[in-house]
Amino acid sequence: MTRKCIKNGTIVTASDTFFGDILVDDGIIVMIGVDLDAEGAEIVDASGCYVFPGGIDPHTHLDMPFGGTVTIDDFESGTIAAAYGGTTTIVDFCLTTKGKPLASAVNAWHAKSKEKAVIDYGFHLMVSEVTDDVLYELPKMIEEEGITSLKVFMAYKNVLQADDGTLYRTLLLAKEHGALVMVHAENGDVIDYLVKQALSLGQTDPIYHALTRPPELEGEATGRAAGLTGLADSQLYVVHVTCAQAVNAIAEARMKGLRVFGETCPQYLTLDRTYLERLDFEGAKYVWSPPLREPEHQQALWDALWNGQLQTVGSDQCSFNFKGQKELGRGDFSKIPNGGPTIEDRFSLLYSEGVRKGRLTLHKFVDVVSTTSAKLFGLFPQKGTIAIGSDADIVIFDPMIERTLSAATHHMKVDYNAFEGMQVVGEPVSVLVRGEFVIRNKTFVGKPGSGQYLHRKRFGEQHKLPAVPSNGYAIT
């Protein structure tokens, strides 16, 4: 049945809260109001629940070769887990290879995702060099594929790291063609020196991963990237911000009027550096770059979300099994594959740790887990809100359910949960993508391959919504 009426929920967007019904037809929201006439529609009862726009996760790495291995969650397990967690759209990083056409990387990413994704998805391009070939091809990727965001790494020396000239040229190109440059901001050269020094002293445990990547090096790189953005009069999105130093650099750039935006991730808001000290090499489970920080940085990140210095929360889903993958770094922390499993718990953690603990308002919660990502990445208002004409990507969320996050109950393939044992309150009970249930009463009912590829708009452009049916109107 394509027509549905979601009844009696508390509908929350980034700007409004109202009680009522949502009528969905053919995947689109066609009416919002009180006591809607739902004749011919399937009734979905949302009483006692919040009705949120589907989460948008702007930062995932599914089925991606990295650190000498490949992330264990692919577009099937990763998007099923995302859906369970209340996320209906992801933007995944397409890894390009130096010397090879960008199109071959994009085609490979289409092949990984097409038959598998259960929610909608787009791609960012990771750019590690700017050659004449890349300069020629990039505009085509933006125009033909709708890939309107490009990531540049300032760290991972000799692997993905690009130099400042490459970053600057990418910023210029992005300005010219309406793309958003994303940056992994850490000073890779100094980190390389510190890592070699630690290893030469026999300091090989996971904790040295954090000790060789101090927050000053994240703050320095963030400020440098922001400065180059100003010079290029371009736009920048700093991924996975972890510390006060980087927040300050972003805030300073924004105060100067620069188009600089920042994302943090659930792990940096809820976990700290002591996790890397866990015995029996368990600390390897908590190796991310940039690393987990001292607890005081968490407050800086929550404050920055509250006051708008940071705008989004991405998962940076990049999962490796502890057994056989994280273990590649036993005896040498620099060989531990970087990243962790976060796609499933992002939305609930932000609600439970953010809204429930008074660190985010309900509207700010929706904004940082969905709406602003839609705006920055060319998906709004097709995605990221509940409005007439928008896709019916909807999360029915029971705010009273108490549960414990655990690998025993999660839906990712990966063999551990980064938030194991953490108590959260609130759970998505049903999740719809374009009006079809993917999760219904906490059970997966979707179909691999039903997720659609999203051709995204250029930076600053909006989607035109389909015409509203003649009887479509909103009562608020």
Among 76, 92, 263, 316, binds Zn ion (CB under 5 A): 316
Q: Which stretch binds Zn ion (CB under 5 A): 66-74, 300-308, 314-322, 373-381?
A: 314-322
Smallest distance, ligand URP to C-beta of residue 109, A? 15
Smallest distance, ligand URP to C-beta of residue 79, A? 18
Which of ligand URP, Zn ion, none does 151 bind, CB closer than 5 to 8 A by kind?
none
Q: Which stretch binds Zn ion (CB under 5 A): 24-32, 67-75, 178-186, 248-256?
A: 178-186
End-to-end C-alpha distance for the chain, whole angstroms: 27
Tell which positions 183-202 bind Zn ion, by CB under 5 A: 184
Contact call for residue 338 and ligand URP (CB under 6 A): yes
Smallest distance, ligand URP to C-beta of residue 435, A? 32
Q: Closest Cα partner for 234 from 191, 286, 170?
A: 170
Contact call for residue 240 and ligand URP (CB under 6 A): yes
> Which residue, 73 or 316, has its beta carbon nearer to ligand URP?
316
Which of ligand URP, Zn ion, none does 338 bind, CB closer than 5 to 8 A by kind?
ligand URP
Euclidean distance between CA atoms 30 and 53, whole angstroms:
15
> Which residue, 240 or 456, has its beta carbon nearer to Zn ion?
240
Euclidean distance between CA atoms 188 and 274, whole angstroms:
23
The string of DSSP codes covering 113-156 is HTTT-SSEEEEEEE-----HHHHHHHHHHHHHH---EEEEES-S
Instruction: Return the structure tokens found at 411.
Output: 């839906």
> Which residue, 129 or 252, has its beta carbon nearer to ligand URP?
129
> Which residue, 50 or 288, has its beta carbon nearer to ligand URP?
288
Smallest distance, ligand URP to C-beta of residue 304, A? 19
Contact call for residue 120 and ligand URP (CB under 6 A): no
Euclidean distance between CA atoms 305 and 8, whole angstroms:
30
> Which residue, 288 or 380, has its beta carbon nearer to ligand URP?
288
Smallest distance, Zn ion to C-beta of residue 182, A? 9
Helix (H, G, I), strand (E, B) or coil at 440: strand
Contact call for residue 92 and Zn ion (CB under 5 A): no
Q: What are 87's strand-pairing partners?
A: 55
Which of ligand URP, Zn ion, none does 288 bind, CB closer than 5 to 8 A by kind?
ligand URP
Smallest distance, Zn ion to C-beta of residue 72, A? 15
Q: Closest Cα partner for 221 from 239, 209, 233, 206?
A: 239
Question: What are the b/e assignments for 89-112, b being 16+ CB within 10 Å?
Answer: bbbbbbbbeeeeebeebbebbeeb
Contact call for residue 209 and ligand URP (CB under 6 A): no
Euclidean distance between CA atoms 34 and 11, whole angstroms:
11
> Which residue, 184 or 364, has its beta carbon nearer to Zn ion?
184
Peptide bond into 101 cis (omega under 30): no
Is the separation of the CB atoms in 374 and 460 below 8 Å? no
**Measured at the alpha carbon of residue 82, what is the angle toward residues 346 and 242, in degrees to the nearest 5?**
30
Contact call for residue 212 and ligand URP (CB under 6 A): no
Instruction: Return the structure tokens found at 256.
Output: 């100067």
Contact call for residue 84 and ligand URP (CB under 6 A): no
Q: What are 303's strand-pairing partners?
A: none
Q: What are 343's strand-pairing partners?
A: none
Contact call for residue 184 and ligand URP (CB under 6 A): yes
Q: What are 182's strand-pairing partners?
A: 151, 237
Which residue's Cβ lies closest to Zn ion?
184
Contact call for residue 375 and ligand URP (CB under 6 A): no
Contact call for residue 339 and ligand URP (CB under 6 A): yes
Contact call for residue 318 and ligand URP (CB under 6 A): yes
Give Cα 95 distance to the centre of its chain: 16
Tell which positions 22-61 bind ligand URP, by CB under 6 A: 61
Q: What are 246's strand-pairing partners?
A: none
Give Cβ neighbours of residue 322 (< 8 Å, ≥ 6 apart): 282, 284, 285, 415, 416
Q: Which stretch binds Zn ion (CB under 5 A): 27-35, 126-134, 182-190, 211-219?
A: 182-190
Site string for ligand URP, 286-305 (x = CB under 6 A): --xx----------------
Instruction: Kindly provide the residue ranges of all beta strands, DSSP E only, lying in 169-297, ordered along the sequence.
Output: 180-184, 235-238, 259-264
Q: Which residues bind Zn ion (CB under 5 A)?
A: 184, 316
Residues that bind ligand URP (CB under 6 A): 61, 184, 240, 288-289, 316, 318, 338-339
